[in-house]
Amino acid sequence: MTILDIHQVSLSFGGLKALQNVNLKIGQGTTHALIGPNGAGKSTLLNVLTGMLKPDDGSVMFDGKPLLDVNSFDINQLGIAKVFQTPAIFPEMTVLQNVTIPVFAARDGSFRMNMLEGFSKQRPLIEFAEEQICELGLEKHMHSIAGSLSRGDKRRLEMAICLANKPRLLLLDEPTAGMARHETEKTIELLQGMKDGITKVIVEHDMNVVFSLAEKISVLAQGQIIAEGSPDEIKGHPKVIEAYLGEAQV
C-alpha cells in the first residue's frame, strides 16, 4: 500500500530545474533510500515533503491526503517527521524537555491555550517522554542540557523527538553525514531496531548505510528519477554508474 504518492513534481529556482516531473511511490512500512550525486535534488524533494518549499507543479498525497499547501506543523501532525543533516534539537533545554515537546504536540495539536495547566496534569506525558528517552539509551542525560551532548547523542535525541509523537513516515536527510565509522554503525543499528510500521525515506551518500537498510532504492540525478529498484538491481545499473561518474562514493 502506497503511503506517499509523489506525482509529477517539478520545481525550478530561477533557471535551475531542481526537480523535473518526479514520480515516486513509497510503500507503507518500507525503508526507501533516495540516492544520487550532489545537487541531484534529494534535499529539495525532502523540503517539498515537509512544506518548506512549494513546487511549481505536481501533487503529493500522504495516505490519501494532499500534502502541498499544508503548513509544516500540520504536516507533522499528519504523521511525517524529519531528521536533519545537522541534528536539530533544542540546545538550551534539557533532554527531558526536548522530548516532552513532541509528546505535548501529539496530545494538544499545533496550538492550545492551556497556560495554567500544572504538573499533575502533565505527569503522564512527562513519564511517557522519560520512557522514550530510556528506549534510545539516553537515561543518564535525562536532565542534561541538550547542547552539551556529543553529536552522536544529539542524533539519538533528535530521533527521540521525532519518534515521540508517533510518526508514520520518517524522513532522514543524510543522517550519518560527517560521522565516524562506529557512530555510523550505531545509527544503522538504531534505524534497524526501530519498530515496524514506520515508513522511512532516507537520503544518503554512504552506500554502506544504504545497502544495510534499504528495501528499495530510487536514484535521483539532475532533478529526475533515473532508476528505481531493489539494492541488487541498483548495484550494477549502468545509468546509476554513469550518473555517479566522477563521484568517489561507492
Q: Which is nearer to another protein, 83 or 217 (CB)?
A: 83
First and final CA of the chain: distance in angstroms? 31
Say how far apart CA 12 and CA 143 lie, in whole Å. Answer: 45
Output 71 or 192, the one with its CB closest to another protein. 71
Q: CB of 227: closest distance to another protein in angstroms?
A: 30
CB of 203 to another protein, least distance (A): 16
Which of 15, 3, 4, 17 has its CA nearest to residue 57?
Answer: 17
Q: Give, in degrees to the nearest 5, the angle at Cα 152 between 135 and 180.
A: 135
| Type of residue found at 64 | G
CB of 153 to another protein, least distance (A): 16
Q: What minimum distance in Å lies between the beta carbon of 93 and another protein?
A: 6
Whose Cβ is closer to another protein: residue 88's or residue 177's? Answer: 88
- Between 22 and 103, whose beta carbon lies closer to another protein? 103
Cell reading at 237:
545499473
DSSP 94: B
CB-side neighbour CA atoms (13 Å) of 100: 16
Judged by the rule CB under 8 A, the positions of this chain that interact with another protein are 50, 71-74, 76-77, 81-82, 84, 88-94, 96-97, 100-102, 104-106, 108-119, 122, 126, 143, 161-162, 165
Of 35 and 164, nearer to another protein (C-beta) is: 164
Residue 221 Cβ vs another protein, minimum distance, rounded to whole Å = 25
Rounded Cα–Cα distance for residues 151 and 170 (Å)? 20
Nearer to another protein, 173 or 204 (CB): 173
Burial class of 72 by CB neighbour count within 10 A (0 to 12, 13 to 18, 19+) = middle
C-alpha distances (whole Å) from 44 to each of 10, 178, 220 are 10, 20, 11
At closest approach, how far in Å is the CB of 127 from another protein? Answer: 10
